Amino acid sequence: MFNKILVCFDGSELAEKILPYAVEEAVRFDSDLVLFRVISEPYIIGLALPGMPGIPINAPNTEKREIEEVQEAKEYLKSIADKLQTEKNLRVSYDSVIGTPGPAIIEYCEKQKIELIAMVTHGRSGPGRVILGSIAEYVIRHSTLPILLMRPPKEKTK
């Protein structure tokens, strides 16, 4: 049913919790898994006068740092891919791009003919959600693909 399943990672342990479910779907449908991570573009605040657009400020070594982060992400994804190929005998590839996570996921799915997106929501609400946004919500609103979405377990209060 699904030829290609995109598994979204952000480098957190929480994001890895979707992996067993994505693997189960890949085994069930004999699908290819594509492990994917978006490296967020750096947020640079520019100076501006009221009512005027800001002037972008180029921080030193930004490009070098982006290249290093992409390489680190690919090494991280490769280690997961190698393990899945060895232990589960799955067809696994991986990729990483620089961009805004929500739009980058949607664009990647279109270009790579992905048929299912698997991801974890961080479960933020209130001010945290307003400030940090919700990548999962963006993907849900802008994608026409089926989405396997996992919510984090609620923290126990004492």
- pLDDT tens, residue by residue, 95-131: 999 999 999 999 999 999 999 999 998 755 545 444 3
Q: Does 98 reside within a domain?
A: yes
Classify the C-alpha dihedral 12-148-125-110 as positive or negative: positive
pTM for this one?
0.82
Token match 């069930």: residue?
Answer: 28
Q: What is the CATH number of the domain that holds 13?
A: 3.40.50.620
What pLDDT is attached to residue 130? Answer: 42
pLDDT the model gives residue 134: 85
State which residues form the domain around 112.
Answer: 4-41+60-150
pLDDT along the chain (158 residues), means of 10: 96 92 97 96 61 61 83 95 96 94 96 97 56 76 96 66
Domain count within the chain: 1
Task: Tell me, yes or no, whether 127 lies in a domain.
Answer: yes
Is residue 55 situated within a structural domain? no
Give a yes or no: residue 141 inside a domain: yes
Three-point CA angle 56, 57, 61, nearest 5°: 130
> How far apart are alpha carbons 83 and 20 in whole angstroms?
13
In a domain, 14, yes or no: yes
User: How confident is the model at residue 122, as a pLDDT?
Assistant: 76
Predicted local confidence at residue 132, as pLDDT:
40
In a domain, 48, yes or no: no
Assess if residue 124 is contained within a domain: yes
> Is position 53 within any domain?
no
